A and B are shown apart, each in its own frame.
Chain A
Amino acid sequence: MEKIIAVNGLKKSFGRLEVLKNVSCDFASGGVVSILGPNASGKTTLIKSILGMVIPDGGEILFQGRSVVNTFDYKRHIGYMPQIGHYPDNMTIGQLFKMVMDIRQQDAVDTELLKAYQLESMYQKTMRTLSGGTLQKVSAALAFMFNPDVLILDEPSAGLDPLAAEALKEKILEEKSKGKLILVTSHILSEADEISDHILYLFEGQIKFYKTLTDLKLETGEQKLSKALTQILSSPSC
């Protein structure tokens, strides 16, 4: 599989707090990687570093072999869904989509989620009037809209209703079958269990393990990700 994102020796601290301590990992296209870990383990910081929102103190991030420092063109190939979507109060959904199309100079190619979430009928609604769940739907639709090679989803199902979360999950699996790389952070293990190919477990800013889901289950002899995780994390060897 082709390496699409390579992270080498990434370091980042906020003040005295070391959030990422020498993280190195590669992500290949055509798979779902779940980034798991307790709160404050550096999941979001890792994602934000890849997106150029957080500027690393050390190490490098390569996107298709090129360093991402001080560049922005590579973001054309990334769709990002933030943890909390929050947009200017008086902007309408339609305007937001139009603005992103203008910035990317791309048309909305993939409107599947827009249709699934029935957002098209709400184009005139302003952001202020939307509920948290609807905002998440808007963010999700925006991430998939331009058919990017890489999708980065930060806690995608938080705040979504069960049906919407199901639609998103199906969308993720569909995109995976098209050979895309999807990075997901999540706290919901049953969900990660259903969609993931690889599990990247971060703990206190370091990678505790990065394995395929199948390997993980084989090693522990468990059928469920949650049980496998518990077993691995409670064993003294790591």
Chain B
Amino acid sequence: MLKIAKYIILDIVRSKVLLAYTLLLLAISLTIFLSDADVTKGLVSITTVILIIVPLVSIVYATTYYFNAAEFTEMLVSQPISRRNILLGKFIGISSSILLAFFIGVCIPVCLFAFSATGITLMISGCLLTLSFISLAFLTSTITRDKAKGIGLALMLWFYFSIIFDGLVLMFLTLFADYPLEKAMIVLTALNPIDLARILILLQLDISALMGYTGALYQEFFGSGIGIVFSLLMQMIWIIVPLFFALKIFKKKDL
């Protein structure tokens, strides 16, 4: 599967979309760091932007790439190689290319300007977020047969995780305002990879005091060693589970 990954990387690295994505991330990080003397504020701004752009580009690009290479996948299936290795090879290829863009666009500037615990958390969360959304992209691509439907579903997932989910949580909070919801909130957070990343990064900054009682509880849980392990584990689950189901579907799919 590494053989396939290698050639997919060689292909994607030369694509203009990936170049544009790298430059966009680089431009965002550099402008924020250069225009603001306060590095911590800069990290918060970058987090806000990254939590929107990274999932969107990862899921849409991976889905589009998957569908554009449909005939290529057919050709690969006609070769002596298992379907599992084809899909995993594609996953490794696509995700390493997008991670490379994230690395150049975000990790390098962060290392240069704001190398700290928060900076490291930002880099790790960004990478995990990229992987989990590519994993979701593989799931949408294997579920649907049609390119338009696949990309539509990918966009809906992104919209759900970045906007609708927060709305639902807010509604849930207002409806059950009379009950103690602190523990429930932690569980709810684990259901959204973007929220997991956001909380992990924000808690590294000492601004959680601004978030009231829930913030304090988050600090207590996610700030602790167990909490960090828990959220990293949950993010891993968000990478592995969709990919696992994609693999299961792909093995039985008619091409």
Chain A interface (Cβ within 8 Å of chain B)?
14, 48, 51-55, 72-76, 78, 80, 82, 84-91, 95-96, 98-100, 102-104, 126, 139
Contact = CB atoms under 8 A, between A and B. Distances in A.
Interface in B204-255: 252-255
Nearest to A54: B254
Contact of B254 (A14, A89, A90): A14
Contacts of A139: 75
A89 B64 CA distance: 12
Contact of B3 (A48, A72, A102): A102
B79 A85 contact: no
Contact of B11 (A51, A74, A89): A89
A164 B16 CA distance: 33
B4 A88 contact: no
A103 B78 contact: no
B11 A104 contact: no
Contacts of A73: 80
Contacts of B3: 99, 102-103
A139 B75 CA distance: 9
Given A82-B71, A86-B72, A89-B68, A95 B10 contact: yes
A72 B81 contact: yes
B78 A99 contact: no
- Which 8 pairs show the lowest CB-CB distances between chains A and B? A86-B71, A90-B14, A80-B78, A88-B11, A75-B80, A76-B80, A53-B255, A99-B7
Interface residues of B, number: 28
Interface of B, secondary structure class, is helix
B45 interface: no
A51 B254 CA distance: 11
Interface of A, secondary structure class, is mixed
B71 A90 contact: no
Contact of B79 (A48, A55, A98, A100): A100
Nearest to A87: B72
Nearest to A49: B254
8 contacts: A48-B254, A72-B82, A75-B79, A75-B80, A80-B78, A82-B78, A103-B3, A103-B80
A196 to B, nearest CB: 23
B69 interface: yes
Interface in B1-49: 3-4, 7-8, 10-12, 14-15
B68 A103 contact: no
B148 interface: no
Given A54-B254, A55-B252, A103 B81 contact: yes
Contact of B80 (A72, A82, A84, A98): A72
A78 B12 CA distance: 29
Contacts of A87: 71-72, 75
B71 A85 contact: yes
A49 B104 CA distance: 44
A189 B253 CA distance: 33
Contacts of B82: 72
Nearest to B252: A55
A74 B78 CA distance: 10
Given A48-B255, A99-B3, A85 B75 contact: yes
B77 A52 contact: yes
Best-buried of B8, B10, B11, B15 by chain A (most CB within 10 Å): B11
Given A75-B79, A90-B15, A103 B8 contact: no
A51 B83 CA distance: 12
Interface string B58-101: 00000000001111101111111111000000000000000000
A103 B4 contact: yes
Given A82-B71, A84-B71, A86-B72, A53 B11 contact: no
